[in-house]
Each structure stands twice: as structure tokens, then as C-alpha cells.
């Protein structure tokens, strides 16, 4: 699909959709905001290495219900001005913003909910830019065209809806200005208050919580378990083989089958090794559990975890405390530990409201969803405020 895109400037722009990132090209993609490891605001999940690995490995492709439909805005000399990573989705799996009730209501009323247009990072409930702007382009010129372009694609193809998940405040304002509706949810992130060590972080906790944390860390390693961080050239196929077993176990229990293929892990290990921190727990020299993390400009993103042996508090140690350790040691500002999980609150992770944006062409259905979202946003904000007052930190002690 190619069409003219109106703009407030004199530059003539066209909008098209492409199925694969390779149709755009690595060089053009790396010139987009947040996509290059050496650029300000780098986010690993919008990198060419990460997204192309999802496609090349067969993890996010048509056969798995993710049909690439990336919006590409082109300007002078056909140069890429902006991109919105997007997919025609045949289901709602792997998104972490749940619309199953919407799909059920739409289809009970006689409509066809799928396919829908989904702008998201597959299988990744992490904040990441979606309205990607090329270097030398102004966000305020490009982003509204991408927002309206997604609406145009939705309506031209007769789709039920378009969704843009885990957006930042600037993108929210742009999408809201184009008529998208906001939906809120809640995650738990750890924020670095300038701690010089993990011990200093512990000192910021209330006494009872500090004792609980220390006991959990001690018990997690009580059976002779050692934890090692692997990154860059230290990553090996043997480690990925071990982690694949862990990931399969977790995926089978949570979703019935794992979303990601084994080859995906080899690809990211080759293409973005320096942005990966694989934390493995060893007992008697053998890996028994692992947590996969990705490194952004100022954030450590915790993604997948699994184990073959169950030890008390090992999940907390690998996924939460080791991530804090790493962030402090490398002076990172934040740890995002994935979707949901109120149990993270007691481990020093505080509530953060996340936002997704939704376009629904059908007026009646849009009104019903709007009413639902108005009430849901109020409840999410109330819950976040309630939990913010119940963090494990000393009164007035930070975070």
C-alpha cells in the first residue's frame, strides 16, 4: 500500500507499508530515533538487530500470526523520514495489553475483530518508541503523519482497530491529537536514586523490609548456587542452549508453547551481544536457571526467566536483585522488570503507569470502549497512588 501523505511543510511525502524490515534496510533503520546503539535515547527493542531477529528466526511472522505491515514515510529523493513498526495481527497473543474482551464483544455483535493493526514490539511489554523519526527530521512533522497513516491503513483494509502499545508521553499526545483513545495499565520499575552500592539501596528500606530482602538473597544462594553475568564475547551457544531449556519451561507453563524460536536467541547473541546481559545461576558448575536482560541507554530491561531446579527466592534473586546490582554497578537510572507483578513492590520496584493508544473506526464500538477506558484509567491511577504509599522505603527515604 502506497499513498500520498499530507504535511505541514512543503516536502512531498508518501506513505507505504512493507512486510519485512529488510525491505527498509539496516542503514535506513539505524538512522531512526532510538534505534542506533550509539545514538541518544537508544532502545534495544526498536533496534534493527532485535526486530529483524524476530522476523528472520520465524518468531514474529505470518505463520505465527504476526504479518509485517510496517509503515514507512518517505520524503525527498525517496529517503525514509519515519517508520512505525506494525503488524497485522491474527490474534492478541504476545502483546501484554489485553483486548480479548473487546474481540469477543465485537464478534458477538457480528463483526470481525481480526486481523487488527498492532504497533508493538512482539512479545515485549517494555516502553519503546513507535513513531520513529529519521535523523534531521522533526518529530512534530513526522509523527502525526505516521499516526494518521495507521488510521488510513486500518480503514482502507477494513480492519476493526489499530493499537499502539507502551508509548511515552510525547507519543501519547500525538496519537491523542489524531483521535486515538488512551488506555492505562501498571508495571513496577526500580529507580536508581544515585546509590553507590546495593548496601546503600538496602539502607533506604524500612528495617523489616531490609531484613526480608537480605534473608531472601541469602536463602536463594544457600544450596551452593553461584550467579554469573554473561555479555558480549562471553556469550556462547552452550549458554543459549541452557537458557532455551529454561525459557521453554516457563513458556509452556504460561502460554502453552514458547513464542520465540531457538534460533532467535542465537541471532541476538550474534547481532547485539553487547546489549545483552544473560544472568545464569550455576550449581555444581551446571546452569540451573537464567534471566535474560537487554541494555538500553539508561535502562536495564528484564525479559525472560526460567529454571530446571526450584530453589526458594531464586526467581527474585535472578530477576530483581541481580538486575538492581547490575544497574547500580553500571550507573543505570532504571530497571524495567516486565509486565504486572505486585510482588515486585516489596523488592523495591515501584508502580509506574503505562499507556497504550487505540483507534476504533466503528462509532458504536468506539463509544463503548471509550466508556470502559474512562473507568479503567481512573482505577489504574487510584491503584498506583495507593501502592505508591506502600513502598518498602523509609518514610521520605526516596523513590
CB 252 within 8 A of CB 245: no
| Predicted confidence (pLDDT) per residue in 314-329, tens digit | 999 999 999 999 999 9
Q: What is the pLDDT of residues 152-187, one digit of tens each?
A: 999 999 999 999 999 999 999 999 999 999 999 999
Buried b (16+ CB within 10 A) or exposed e, 9-29: eeeebebbbeeebeebeeebb
H helix or E strand, kind and range, residue 108: helix 100-108
How does residue 253 score in pLDDT terms, banded at 50, 70 and 90? Answer: low
Q: What Cα–Cα distance (Å) separates residue 271 from each residue in 8, 47, 73? A: 38, 10, 26
Residue 9 has pLDDT above 60, yes or no: no
pLDDT digits 0-9 by tens, 176-216: 999 999 999 999 999 999 999 999 999 999 999 999 999 99
What is the Rg, in whole angstroms, of the alpha carbon atoms belonging to the chain? 22
Q: How far apart are CA 184 and CA 251, in angstroms?
A: 26
The pLDDT, as a whole number, for residue 53 is 98
Amino acid at each position: 500500500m502506497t499513498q500520498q501523505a499530507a504535511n505541514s511543510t512543503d516536502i512531498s511525502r508518501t506513505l507505504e507499508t512493507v512486510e519485512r524490515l529488510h525491505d527498509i534496510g539496516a542503514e535506513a533503520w539505524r538512522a531512526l530515533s532510538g534505534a542506533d546503539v550509539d545514538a541518544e535515547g537508544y532502545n534495544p527493542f526498536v533496534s534493527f538487530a532485535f526486530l529483524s531477529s524476530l522476523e528472520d528466526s520465524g518468531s514474529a511472522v505470518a505463520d505465527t500470526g504476526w504479518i509485517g505491515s510496517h509503515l514507512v514515510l518517505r520524503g525527498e529523493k525517496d529517503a525514509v523520514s519515519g517508520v512505525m513498526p506494525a503488524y497485522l495481527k491474527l490474534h492478541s497473543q504476545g502483546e501484554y495489553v489485553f483486548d480479548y474482551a473487546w474481540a469477543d464483544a465485537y464478534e458477538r455483535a457480528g463483526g470481525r475483530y481480526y486481523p487488527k493493526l498492532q504497533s508493538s514490539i512482539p512479545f515485549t511489554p517494555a516502553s519503546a518508541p513507535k513513531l520513529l523519526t529519521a535523523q534531521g527530521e522533526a518529530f512534530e512533522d513526522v509523527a502525526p503523519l505516521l499516526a494518521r497513516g495507521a488510521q488510513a491503513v486500518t480503514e482502507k483494509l477494513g480492519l476493526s482497530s489499530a493499537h499502539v502499545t507502551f508509548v511515552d508521553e510525547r507519543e501519547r499526545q500525538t496519537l491523542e491529537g489524531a483521535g486515538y483513545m488512551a488506555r492505562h495499565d501498571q508495571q513496577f520499575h526500580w529507580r536508581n536514586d544515585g546509590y553507590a552500592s546495593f548496601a546503600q539501596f538496602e539502607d533506604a528500606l524500612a528495617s523489616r523490609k531490609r531484613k526480608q530482602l537480605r534473608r531472601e538473597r541469602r536463602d536463594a544462594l544457600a544450596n551452593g548456587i553461584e550467579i554469573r553475568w554473561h555479555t558480549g564475547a562471553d556469550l556462547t551457544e552452550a549458554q543459549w542452549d541452557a537458557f532455551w531449556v529454561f525459557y521453554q519451561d516457563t513458556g509452556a507453563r504460561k502460554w502453552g508453547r514458547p513464542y520465540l524460536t531457538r534460533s532467535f536467541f542465537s541471532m541476538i547473541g550474534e547481532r547485539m551481544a553487547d546489549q545483552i546481559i544473560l544472568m545464569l545461576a550455576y550449581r555444581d558448575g551446571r546452569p540451573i536457571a537464567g534471566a535474560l536482560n537487554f541494555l538500553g541507554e539508561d535502562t536495564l530491561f528484564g525479559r525472560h526467566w526460567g529454571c530446571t531446579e526450584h530453589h526458594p527466592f531464586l526467581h527474585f534473586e535472578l530477576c530483581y536483585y541481580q538486575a538492581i546490582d547490575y544497574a547500580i554497578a553500571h550507573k543505570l537510572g532504571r530497571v524495567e522488570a516486565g509486565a504486572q507483578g505486585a510482588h515486585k513492590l516489596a523488592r523495591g520496584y515501584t508502580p509506574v503507569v503505562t499507556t497504550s493508544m487505540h483507534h476504533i473506526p466503528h462509532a458504536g464500538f468506539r463509544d463503548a470502549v471509550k466508556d470502559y477506558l474512562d473507568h479503567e484509567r481512573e482505577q489504574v491511577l487510584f491503584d498506583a497512588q495507593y501502592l505508591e504509599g506502600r513502598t518498602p522505603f523509609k518514610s521520605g527515604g526516596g523513590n
